[in-house]
Amino acid sequence: MFLYRVKQFLWYLNGKITEKDLKYIESKLNNNEIILFRKLAINEQKHCINVAMDLEKICCSKKINSYELIKVALLHDIGKIDVRLSIIDKSILVILDYLSKGRIRKFNSINKINVYYNHGEKGANILKKYGYNERFLYLIRNHHNSNIKEDEELNLIKYCDNKN
Ligand SMILES: [Fe+2]
Ligand SMILES: [Fe+2]
C-alpha cells in the first residue's frame, strides 16, 4: 500500500494545471473558492481536480446529485494551504506512518506532521468562515476518518481520494 502511495506522489511531480483544468475549476467553483483553491500547491490542485472528475463520473453513472459533492472534492484538501508538503515530505511521512503504525501522529507540534494528519479539521475550520453548511464541513473534516463507514457520500469521496 505505501509503495503505491509513493508511486502516486511521483506521478504528480510533473503536475501542471492545464487550460482544461482551469476551465473545469471555473465551471465548478465561484470566485472566492477559486482564489482559495489556487493557494494549494500545484500538485495538490491537480490531485483535487482528479478526485473531483472521478467523483463526477461516478455520480453521473449513479444519478447522484453532484453539485455540492464536486465542490467538496475540489476543496477537500484545502487544509493544506498554509503548510506545504512537498512530494518528498509526503513520501517520507507515508513511510514513517507505515513503519510507526501511525504513532508519529503524536508529534503534531511539527507543522508538517500536524497538517498531514489534521488537514481535514484545518480545512473545515478555514471553510467555516465562508458560511458552508454543516454537512459540507463534515465531509471535509472526515475525509480521512476511517471510523465512519456508513456514509455513502463520504465513502465516495474517500474512494476517489485514494484512487488519486
Ligand atoms: Fe486529504
Ligand atoms: Fe486528497
Rounded to the nearest angstrom, the distance between the alpha carbon of 61 and the centre of ligand 2 is 22
Query: Which ligand has the minimum distance to the alpha carbon of residue 157?
Result: 2
Using an 8 Å Cβ cutoff, are 69 and 42 in contact? no
Most trustworthy range by pLDDT among 48-57, 58-67, 80-89 = 48-57
Q: What spacing in Å lies between the alpha carbon of 72 and ligand 2's midpoint?
A: 11
Q: How far is the CA of 63 from the centre of ligand 1 (A)?
A: 25
Q: What is the pLDDT of residues 45-58, one digit of tens each?
A: 999 999 999 999 99
CB 143 within 8 A of CB 26: no
Q: Give the percent of the chain with pLDDT over 90.
A: 79
- Closest by CA to 119, choosing from 151, 87, 137, 144, is 144
- Is residue 108 helix, strand or coil? coil
Query: Which pLDDT score, from 0 to 100, does residue 12 have?
Result: 67
Question: What confidence score (pLDDT) does residue 86 get?
Answer: 83
Distance (Å) from CA 4 to ligand 1 centroid:
16
Structure confidence at residue 129 (pLDDT): 92
Q: How many residues does the chain have?
A: 164
pLDDT the model gives residue 132: 96
- Find the 145 Cα to ligand 1 centroid distance in Å: 10
The whole-number average pLDDT for the span 138-153 is 96
What is the overall mean pLDDT for the chain? 92
